Structure 1
Amino acid sequence: MAPKFKDGETVASFNGKWISYSHTVVAYAAFLGALIVGCYLHYHKIVQNEYYGYPDEWFPSVSATIGDRYPERSVFMVFIAITSGPRFALVALWYVLTRRPNSTLPKFIAAVGIFRTLTCGGWTYVTSTDDHDWHDIFMISYLVATLPWTLGCLALSPRNATALKYRKIFAGAFFGTLVPLIYFFIQHKVHHVAGAYTTYAFFEWSLVLLDVAFDAVTVVEFENFEIVVKDVRGISRGNKAADAVLEKQKNKEVGQVFAGGFSWPGFFDALADVYNGFAFWSMLTSLGLLVWYFPLWHMGISGYEVMVMCTVSPFLLGIKPLRYLIVSNIRICHLLSLAGSLSFLAKSPENRLFSAGFGVWMACLSWAATFFAERSQPHRLEARISAFSIGLLASSIAKFAFWTNNPVWPIMHGPNGGWNKVGFVLAFLAIIRSTRYTASSGADLPPPGPTKGSSTLAGLGLAGLFFAMHSLLSDSSTMILWVWEGFPVRGPLAVPHGAYTLIAMGLGLCIGLFAPGFARSWAFYGIGSIGAAVLTTYSHWFGYYGALTVAIYTMAIAPPFISNAIRHNPAGTFGLGFLVYNFLVLAHVWVVAYAFVPGGPLMREHTDWVMTATMLFIGCGVFSATSQQTATPTIKKYKDKVSPAANKQRSYYLYILFGLELLAVSIAYLRFPSYNYTPYHPEEKAVTAGIWTIHFSLDNDMWSSERRMRDVIQELELDVVGLLESDLQRIIMGNRDTTQFLAEDLGMYVDYGPGPNKHTWGSALLSKFPIVNSTHHLLPSPVGELAPAIHATLDMYGEMVDVFVFHSGQEEDPEDRRLQSEYLAGLMRETPRPAILLSYLVTKPLEGNYNTYVGEKSGMRDVDPSDWDRWCEYILYKGLKRTGYARVSRSTITDTEIQVGKFVVGQPEGTNDFISEDQVAPGLRFPALFRGEGVRGHRYHVFDEPRYFA
C-alpha cells in the first residue's frame, strides 16, 4: 500500500537524476580542476618523486596533484566539500530504491556509503603533511570500503539491463586496474624503474574516474524518482494554523527489517565463538615453539619433546562416562584450557612449557567434545566448524599484523610487544558467552541420517587436514618463502602478498560451507593435489599459484571433514587424527634436523615425502566423506531444510570472515615498505657489516628476541648484517620470520635466504643498500646438515659489491666442511667485484680450512688476522678498505657474539697496522655506547675496545 502523506502545497520538485548529475560533475571538477591548476602552476614539482623528475616522469599522481600545494589543494577541497551534499543524497536515494522487507543488506550498504563519504573527508582535509598516520588510516578505510560498496550495489541493482551492464563494466575495470596499478607501483618503489610512476599515475587516475563513473550510473534509476518539497503547515504562505503532528505512516519497513534481520546478540555469539577458535590456534601454534627451546639449548634430544603429544587428549572421549562428564561441563574444560594463555606468567621455561602443554591438552579435548555435542544439529555444528576455521584465519592475520609473532603466545610479554593480558581477558569472556549452551548436555544424541564410512579413514583425513592447516596456513608468509629464490623479485613478497594467502583461505572456507559436495569430491581433491605438487616443485609466481590452490582446498575441506568425522566415535577420529598429526609434525622437523635425531638420515631433505603423506591422509578423509555422502540427502534437499534462523546464523560468521579479510588488506597496505633506505654514514662512503648467529630468535629465557636484536643492530649502526640460524618457518619454530620485523623497523632490504623447503637452519641478509641480485646456494654436505649461503650483489654508493652470508656444517663432519670451504672459495675467487664474507666457519685461525677461505685460493683477506680467539664467526673481505673491527657480547639474546667490521667503498685495501681512534674520521668510529659495561649486557669484549687499521 502506498504511504499516505499529509496534504500540503508543493513548493518545489525536481527529478532524482539531477542528484546523480550534480554528484558526478562536482566530483570530476574537484579532481580535474586540481589537475589543471597544478599542471599550470607547479608542473615540474608535482611530477617529481623521490627518485626521478621531468622528463623521466611527466604525469602527476593523484596524491601529488591534490596534495599540499596552494591553490590546487584549495580547489580540490572546495569542490569535494560541495560534492558531499549530493553524495549523502545519492546514498539516501539508493537506500530508498533498494530497501526490502526482512533484508539487512540495503542498510549495510547505506552505512558503508556514509562511512566512505566521511572517510573521504578525512583523507581530504587531513593531508599526509598534517598527520601521516591519520591520512593513511582514512585513505585505506575509504579504499577498503569501496569493495563492499561496489559489490553491494551490484547485488542490489534493480533489474535494469542498461544500468547493470554499465555497473559491471565500471566495476570490472576498477578492480582490473588494481593489478597493473600495484605492479607499476612496485616497479617504482622496489625496482626504481624510471617512468614507472607516470604509468602508475595513469592507472591511479583511472581508478578515480571509474569510481565516480560507477556511482554516475544511478542516473538511470533515479530518473524514476521525483523529489517533492511540500509546505504542510503553510509556512511559505504565512499560515500558522497547520496541523501539529503528522499522521503516522502505515506499513513501515523498519520494524519488519529488525524483526527478521540483523541481531546484535547473535552476532556477538558468533564473534565469541570465533575468538574461542582464535585462542585454540594461538595455543596450538605456540606449543611446538616452546618444545623447540629445549633441544635447541641441549643441542640434541632433551626429553621435553614428549610434550608434543599433548594434542591426543580426545582419546579420553572414547570412555563413555568420561565423555558424558566432559560434554556436560564443556565450559569448565574450555576455561581450563586458558592455562595456556596464562603460561606467559611463568618465569621458568619448564613451567611455561608445562602450563602451555596443559592448555593445549584441554583445548583439543574441549573442541573435540564441542563438535561431538553439536553433531545432532547440523547448523550448529557448521557454526562451530566455521568458528574453528575462521579462528585459524584470525590467528594468521594477528601474525600478519605483528610481524609473524602471535601477540598472545607464551614467548611474548609486555617488553617485547605481547598482548597476553588483553588476549586472556577476551578469551575468558568469549568462552563464557560461546559455551552458554550446546545442542547436547551430555546426552549422546546421534547425528541425522545413517552413518557410513570408516572412522579410521576419517581420523587420518583429520590428521592431514590439521597438519596442512598448521604447517602451511598458520602464517601468511610460509608458502611465500617456499617459492622465494632471491633478487631480483620474481614472485610474491611476504608483504603485501601475504594478504593473497589470507583471502584464498577465506574463499576456501566459503566453498566448504556453500558447496560441501564439491569440497569433498575427488575432482576437487585432484585440484588440491596438483596445487601441492606445484608448490613443492616450483618457485616464483607459478609455485605460489600452487600455494593459493592449497590454501583454498585445505580450508574448503574443513567443514565436510569435521562434519563427517564427528558422526563416529570422537576418540577414533579426533584422537587418531591428532596422534597422526603429531607424527607428521615430527617428520616435518626430521627433514632438516636429521643430523640430531635417531634414524634422521631416512627423512633427510624429504619435504616431498611429508607433502605426499599429507595429501594421502587427506585422500583417506575424502574416501570416508564421499562414502557418507551417498547415505545422506542430496545437497539440494539439505539446503531446502535449512531454516531462516540457520541462514542468519551463518551470515554472522560470514560478516566476521569478511571483516577479517578487509583487516588483512588494510594491514598489507599499512605494512608496505617505503624502500627509501639510506646508510648511516654516507658522507664517508662507510659500510658497517656484521655477522650474528641468532639462535632462532629465542633468548636464554624463552622470550622472543626480535626487539632486543633490533636495538643492538641499530645502536651498532650496521648497514649490512648477516643472520644465521634464522629459518623459523616450521611448526616447531612457530612459522615465524624474524627478518620481517627487523627489515621494516630498521629500514633495510632483506633476503630471507634459502626457504624452508630447502632443509637448512637458515641464513639471511639485511642491507641498507639495494640488493641488485642474490643467489642461494646449498653447499656440498654428503654427511652432515646442509650448509646455506647467500651470494648477493649490493649497490653501495654506486659501486657493485658482493656480500656472502654463509653457515658451515658442524664440527662432527670434517669432510663436509672441507668440501664447503672449497666451494665457497671458488665463488669468492670468481667474482671480479669487491666482496665481504659474513660467515660461521667452524675452524681455528691460520689452521686447516681457514687457509682455503683466506689467501690465494679465495682472494679474500681476514678482517683481523691477529684475532686468535675465534672458532665460529669470521668476516673476510677484498677490494675494500677495512678500517675497523669489533666484537660485541650477546647479552642473553643468543649463544653467539656479534662481530662487526667497518669498510670504506672505493679505496684500496690498506694494511694490518693498528692505529688509534683519534686518527679515524668520526663517521668510521664504533659507537662509544658499548665501552666499559656497555648497555643492556652488550659491550666490547675480548679486546675490550674496537680495533682500527691504517
Structure 2
Amino acid sequence: MPWPHQHIIPAQLHLQQLTYYPNISSPKKAQNPPIMAAATTKPLIRFSAVVVAWAHTVCALSAFLAALVIGCVLHYEKIVKNEHFGYPDEWFPSVSATIGDRYPERSIFQIIIALTAGPRFLLLFLSYLRLYRPTGVTSIVSLVTGFIRTVTCGGWVYITSSDDHDAHDIFMISYIVLTIPWTVTVTLLTSDKKLRSKRKYTALVFFGMLVPLVYLFIQHKVHRVAGAYSYYAYVEWSLIFLDIGFDAWTIVDFKDLVIELLGTETGIEFNTVTEKPLEKPQLLKPAFKRNAANQLSYTAIIVNTINSFVFWSVLTALFVCVWFFPLWDMGISGFELVVASVFSPVFLVIPQFRHILGQYPQVSRLVSVWAGIGSYMVAEPSTRLLVISLGAFAGSISLANELWYLPRDLIPGYSATFMVGLLLSTIAKFAFWTNNPVWPILNRDTGGANFGGLLVGTLAALATSIPESHPEKHSRPSQSLVLSSLGFAGLLFSLLAMLTDSSTIILWVWSGYPVTGPIPVPHGVLTMLAMAVGTFIGLLKPRLVAGWKFFSFGAVGAIVLYEFHGWTGYAGGWCYALWLSAISPVIFGNSARFNPGLVFGLGFFWFILIVLAHVWIVAYAFVPMGWLLRERTDIVLGTSVVMIACGFRSAEKYVIPEIEAKSEPKEEAKAALFATFIWKIFNVLTVLVALSCMIAAHRFPFHKPQPYHPEEKLMTCGIWTIHFGLDNDMWASEHRMRDLIKDLELDVVGLLESDTQRILMGNRDLTQRIGEELGMYVDFGPGPNKHTWGCALLSKFPIVNSTHHLLPSPVGELAPAIHATLNVYGEYVDIVVFHSGQEEDVEDRRLQSLGVRDIMGSTDRPTVLLSYLVTEPLQGNYNTYVSEESGMHDIDPSDDDRWCEYILYKKLKRTGYARISRGTITDTELQVGKFQIGSSIDETYSQTEVDEDKVAEGLRFPAIFHGEGVREHHFHVFNRPKYFE
C-alpha cells in the first residue's frame, strides 16, 4: 500500500494516549516517531474539516444556481428554446443550455465552479483518510475514481456541447459512469450505519432518476412532445442536486475531523486529528456478500439471470461486430484477433487476481456491462469493437471466477440461472425480430433498447455476490483437466451456435413451400419451451442428466437434426435443445473443481478453435486452408458433441447429488432449501415461457398480404444485395431496408447475402421484421446448414411452391438459388432468386450459368430472374442467361453499366425499370422492374421507351425518388426511371 510523503501523517488518531497508524494491524503506545517530533508545537492553523465539506457544497450549488438565476433573468426565452419548441410550449431550461449557451451566465458558472476545485480535491483526500481500510483495494479505487471523475467534470463543464459536441458527451458519459464506482465505494467504506444508509439511498435515487430522464428525452427527441424537454430539465437538475447532495454528506462525516497545520524546524506538517475515540477499523467485508441461503432467493435468481443475459448479449455482439471487418475486406482483416478477449480466464492462474475478483465480483461485472452494452455510445466501428472486446474479456472472467468461488452445492443453481439468462436473451431476440435489443449494432434509431439494458445490467452487477467460500479447500478429482475444458468448450459453443436464437434450429430444417415443418413465428416458442424444460430437468433429475443414456438422447437428437428436414428434423433439434439446456450443471460442476485459470482458460481456447471451424465451413473461399472444412457442418456438429462427451467422461465418477432427505437435520434443511429453489426456478421459467407465447401471439401475421396496385394488376420486383444487414457504419440496417422497400412499393423482392444464422452474424433472420411489418410472405432460402451466403424471397403474393438449389461450385463459394411459383392475381408466375459465385472462379460461374439457364428454361410460365450474375452485359455468361434455352430477356439491354445485379424476364409485359442508390445501407444498389399481369405481351420485347407523363399514375415509380430523393435514396445512373411500351 503506497503512502504519502513521510511529512504527511495519514491519520493520527488519539485514542486514550494511543496513536493508531492504519498500516499497523493493532493500536500501540505512541512511540514518538521522527515525524511526530513537532507534535507538541502549537498549530499555526487549526480548523474543522467540515469547513471543506461546506465550501465544496456551497461553491458547487452556487455555480449552478447562479447560472440558472442569471440565465432566466437575462435570456429566459432563449435558454428554454430547443430544436422543436420554444416558450410557452417549453418553460424550464436544461442544465446544458443554462451553463453553456450564453454570456454572462456561462462565464459566472465557470468561475465559481473553478473555485470548487480546491475544496473538491481536498475533500477527496480527506475522504480517503477518513474511509481508508488497511485491507482490500476499495479505498484506492475510491480515491482514483473520485480524482478521474473530477477531471471529467471539468471536461464537460469547460467544453460545452456548442464547442465540441462529441468531446462534451464523452466527458459527460465518463463522469456518469465513474459516478457508479465512486458512490458505491464511498458508501461501502462508510462505517457509520446511519450515514451509510443516507448515502446509499441518495445514490439509489440518483440512478433511479435516470429512467424518467431517458423516457422524457425520447418523448422530446423522437416523439417531439411539447413540454417534454422542460420535464426532462426538471429531472436533469434533480440529478445535479442529488450528485452534490451525495458529496454533501461529508458535512456529517467530517464533524469530528480537525485539520492542523503545524510548524516544525524543518518546515510545515499537515495533520488530521479526530476529536473523539473511534473503534478500531474492521476488515472491510466484500460488497453485497450474502450467505449460501440467500443465493437461493428470488433476488439472487434475478441478479444471476441478468448477469447471464449480459454475458450472452456481449458474447454474441462480439462476433457480430468482428464480422463487419472481414465482410468489407473480403478476407481476414486482422480484427479477428479480438475474439481472443474471451481467453481472459487464463489470468485467473494468478492467485491475487483471482482473490480480488472473488472478493469484488461487482467490478468485472460492471466492466462487462459498461464496455459490452455501453459500447453502442461509440460511433467509430473499430473503436466500438475494441470496447466490446473489453466487455467480453470481463464477462468471461466473471463466469469462470464465480464458478470457482461458489460452494459446490450451489453450482447446479448457478448453472440453472446461467441457462435462464440464455433463455431470456433468446426471448428478447424473439421480441425484437432476432436482434438482441442491447447489441451495440443497435441504437435509438434502429430499434435498440441499449440504455435500459445498461441500467438493468448495472444494477444487477452491483448486486452480484458470492457467498463465503474457501475454494482452495475444494477437492481435486483425478479426472483430466483437459477433458473438462473440452466439455466446457463444447457446451458453450453448442449453446452459442444453436440456442441464442429461437429460429436457428427451425431454419436448419426449412425446405421451402409448401410448408412441411415449423416456422419461426409461432413455433419459435417450442424451441424456448425445450430450453425451459431442459433447464428444469437439469435441476430436478441430476442423476438422470449426468448419465450416458441421457447423453445418447442428445447425441441422437443432433444426428436427426442434421439428417432430416421438416417436423422430423425439428423433433431431433427439439430433443437436442432440451439436452443442451439440461447438462450445464454436469459440465460446470465438474469444471469448477479445477484451477479456474487452467480449466476455463484452456476451455475458452478450445471454444475459439471450434468457433473458427464453424466459420471455415462457409467462408472456405476466403480463409487459409479453407478446403479442410469446406461444407463440413457434420464435422463441426459432431466434434461439439464429442467435446461434451469428454466433459461427461471427466465427470463420470462425479454425479450431482439428488436432493434427498438426510438423516442429519442440517442436511434435511439444505435439501428442503434447494427443493424450494427448484420451484422458484420453475416459476421463473413458467413466466418466461408464457412471455414468449404472448410475443408469438403479438407477432403472428393474422392479415393476408395485399399488393400495392391490384387495380393495375401490377407486380413490382426488386433485387438487392444487403451485405448481411450491417450498414457502412456497423449499425443494423433492417429498419432502413424496410423503409426503402416500402417507399418503392415492392411486391416481390429478392435479397442476397442474407443468411445471418451463424455465430459470426449473430444468429439473426433479416427477413422477419421486414416480412412482418410490410405484410409479405417469406422464403428464407437454403438454410444455414447449406453453407451459402444466402438468398431470400419476400412476396406480397402467395408462394405456392418453392425449391432451393445449390448450383455447381467445384472451386469457390456455393451459389444459392430459389425457384418459387407465386399466385399473382390468379395467374402463376415463377420467380428465380440467384447469387452467382465470385469473379475469380471462372469455371464455377460458367457451370452456374448453365444451371440457372436450365431452371428458367424448365418452366413455360411467366418468369422473372432477380439475380447477382457477375458478368458484363451482352458478353460471356450473359448470353447463357439470356438465350433461347432459357427464354429470358434483359429488362434493359441498353444498360451497359452493370456487373452484379440483373433483372431478366419472359412472358410478361415489362412497363418500367429503375436503379436506386443505396445510401449507406450497403455496397450495392437496389434495382427494380415493373410488370403487368394478364396484359398483352409484346413478343418482340420492344425496347421503345415512353415519357413518364404518358404513363398511367398507378404504373409509375414513386415521385419521392426524383432529384435528391429521400434518406439518400434516389434514381441514379440514368437519374430517372425508364418506362416502356
TM-score (norm 2): 0.68
Alignment of 1:479-558 (within 5 A): 479-558=505-584
Aligned: 1:427 with 2:457 = yes
Q: Which moved more, 1:383-392 or 1:798-807?
A: 383-392
Paired residue for 1:621, among 644, 647, 670? 647
TM-superposed CA distance for 1:654, in Å, is 2.6
1:434-449 equivalent positions in 2, closer than 5 A: 434-435=464-465, 437-440=466-469, 443-447=470-474
User: Does 2:893 correspond to 1:903?
Assistant: no
Kindly indicate whether residue 318 of structure 2 is the aligned counterpart of residue 287 of structure 1.
yes
Structure 2 residue aligned with 1:147: none
Q: Output the CA distance in 1 between the equivalents of 2:759 and 2:590.
A: 27
Looking at structure 2, the residues matched to 657 and 766 of structure 1 have their Cα atoms a distance apart, in angstroms, of 35
Instruction: Compare 424-433 and 451-460 and name the one that shifted more.
Output: 451-460
**Corresponding position of 2:805:** 777
Distance 1:369 1:573 in 2: 11
Q: Give distance in 2, aligned partners of 1:620 and 1:605.
A: 25
Residue 327 of structure 1 and its aligned partner are, at CA, apart by 1.2
- Cα shift at 1:656: 1.6
The match for 1:348 is: 380
- Answer whether contact 1:452 1:628 (CA < 8 A) is retained: no
Residues 313 and 450 of structure 1, relative CA distance in 2, 3 Å threshold: closer
- Residues 905-914 or 274-283, more deviating: 905-914
1:742 aligns to what?
A: 770
Q: Secondary structure at the match of 2:704?
A: coil
Q: 1:110: which partner in 2? A: none
**In the alignment, is residue 314 of structure 1 matched against residue 345 of structure 2?**
yes
Contact 1:271–1:653 (CA under 8 A) maintained in structure 2: no
- The sequence identity of aligned pairs, in percent, is 53
Q: Which moved more, 1:581-590 or 1:726-735?
A: 581-590
1:367 CA drift (Å): 1.3
For residue 806 of structure 1, what is the aligned residue in structure 2?
A: 834
What's the offset of the Cα at 1:382? Answer: 2.7
In the TM superposition, residue 636 of structure 1 has moved relative to its aligned partner by 4.4
Q: Does residue 1:589 correspond to 2:630, yes or no?
A: no
The answer for the alignment partner of 1:366 in structure 2 is: 398
- Aligned residue runs from structure 1 range 660-679, under 5 A: 660-679=688-707
The answer to whether the Cα contact below 8 Å between 2:718 and 2:749 also exists between their aligned partners in 1 is yes
How far off its partner does 1:397 sit?
0.4
| SS of structure 1 residue aligned to 2:373 | helix
- 1:716 paired with 2:716, answer no
- Does structure 1 retain, via aligned residues, the 8 Å contact 2:296–2:677? no
Q: After TM superposition, give the deviation of residue 334 of structure 1 in Å.
A: 1.0
RMSD of the TM alignment (CA)? 1.7
Distance 1:925 1:807 in 2: 28
Q: Do the aligned partners of 1:687 and 1:904 also contact (CA within 8 Å) in 2? A: yes
The residue that corresponds to 2:755 in the other structure is 727
Distance 1:890 1:266, change over 3 A: same
Q: Distance in 1 between matches of 2:874 and 2:554?
A: 54
In 1, distance between residues paired with 2:657 and 2:836?
Answer: 61
Q: Does 1:753 align with 2:777?
A: no
8 Å CA contact 2:522, 2:700 repeated in 1: yes
What does residue 273 of structure 1 align with?
A: 304
Contact 2:408 2:589 in 1 (8 A): no
How far apart, CA to CA, are the structure 1 residues paired with 2:444 and 2:639? 40
Partner residue in 1 for 2:111: none
Kept after mapping to 2: 8 A contact 1:461/1:617: yes
Distance 1:265 1:600, change over 3 A: closer
State the partner residue of 1:797.
825
Contact 2:332 2:622 in 1 (8 A): yes
Residue 567 (1) aligns with residue 593 (2) = yes
Report what 1:202 is aligned to. Answer: none
Kindly report which structure 2 residues correspond to 1:643-722, keeping only aligned pairs within 5 A, or say none: 643-722=671-750
SS at match of 2:485: helix
What does residue 106 of structure 1 align with? none
Q: Deviations over 1:186-211 (max 9, x none)?
A: xxxxxxxxxxxxxxxxxxxxxxxxxx
Q: Distance in 1 between matches of 2:658 and 2:826?
A: 68
| Distance in 2 between residues matched to 1:582 and 1:668, nearest whole Å | 34
Q: Which residue of 1 aligns with 2:905?
A: 877
Does the CA contact (< 8 Å) of 2:661 and 2:671 recur in 1? no
Indicate if the aligned counterparts of 2:816 and 2:835 stay in contact, CA closer than 8 A.
yes
User: Is the 1:774–1:790 Cα contact (8 Å) retained in structure 2?
Assistant: yes
Aligned partner of 2:356: which letter?
Answer: L
Looking at structure 1, the residues matched to 918 and 726 of structure 2 have their Cα atoms a distance apart, in angstroms, of 13
Q: What is the CA-CA distance between 1:572 and the residue it aligns to?
A: 2.5
SS in 2 for 1:418: coil
Q: Which moved more, 1:668-677 or 1:538-547?
A: 668-677
In structure 2, relative to structure 1, the CA distance for the partners of 1:642 and 1:665 (3 Å cut) is same
Number of residue pairs matched by the alignment: 681
* Structure 2 residue identity aligned to 1:948: Y
Match of 2:175 in 1: none
Q: 1:921 to 1:279 in 2, by over 3 A?
A: same
Taking structure 1 as reference, are residues 265 and 569 closer, same or farther at Cα in structure 2, changes over 3 Å only?
A: closer
Give the equivalent residue in structure 1 for 2:428.
398
Instruction: State the match for 1:93 in structure 2.
Output: none
Unaligned 5+ runs, structure 2 = 1-292
Q: What displacement does 1:444 show?
A: 3.2
1:846 pairs with 2:877: no
Equivalent residue letter for 1:277? S
The answer to whether structure 1 residue 407 and structure 2 residue 437 are counterparts is yes
Q: In structure 2, what is the Cα distance between the partners aligned to 1:904 and 1:446? A: 79
2:958 aligned partner, one-letter code: P
Instruction: Work out the CA distance in 2 between the residues paired with 1:634 and 1:278.
Output: 27
> How much has 1:932 moved relative to structure 2?
0.4
- CA displacement at 1:272 relative to structure 2: 1.9
User: Which stretch shows the higher mean deviation, 906-915 or 611-620?
Assistant: 906-915
Larger Rg, first or second structure (1 or 2) = 2
Deviation readout 1:419-472 (Å, 9 max, x if unpaired): 00010000001111233x4333xx43434x663422211110011100110000
Q: Do the aligned residues in 2 keep the contact of 1:482 with 1:755 (CA within 8 Å)?
A: yes
TM-aligned CA distance change 1:358 to 1:583, over 3 Å: same
Q: Distance in 2 between matches of 1:386 and 1:522?
A: 20
CA distance in 1, matches of 2:540, 2:591: 19
Equivalent AA in structure 2 for residue 488 of structure 1: P
What is the SS of the residue equivalent to 2:571? helix
Partner AA of 2:514 in structure 1: P
The one-letter code matched in structure 2 to 1:609 is I
Alpha-carbon distance in structure 1 between the residues aligned to 2:611 and 2:358: 29
Pick which of 906-915 and 883-892 moved more.
Answer: 906-915
Query: Of the candidates 621, 628, 633, which is equivalent to residue 607 of structure 1?
Result: 633
- Offset at 1:909? 3.4
Q: Distance in 2 between matches of 1:413 and 1:399?
A: 15
Alignment partner of 1:596: what SS? coil
Which of 868, 884, 900 is the matching residue for 1:856?
884
* 1:456 equivalent in structure 2: 482
Aligned to 1:12: none
Alignment of 1:463-478 (within 5 A): 463-478=489-504
Deviation at 1:265, TM superposition (A): 11
Secondary structure at 1:882 match in 2: strand
SS in 1 for 2:471: coil
- Deviation, structure 1 residue 473: 0.3
TM-score, normalising length from structure 1? 0.70
Matches within 5 A, 1:49-60: none
TM superposition shift of 1:637: 6.8
**Cα distance in structure 2, aligned partners of 1:758 and 1:328:** 48
8 Å contact from structure 2 (residues 476, 593) kept in 1? no
Q: Is the 8 A contact 1:517 1:635 kept in 2?
A: no
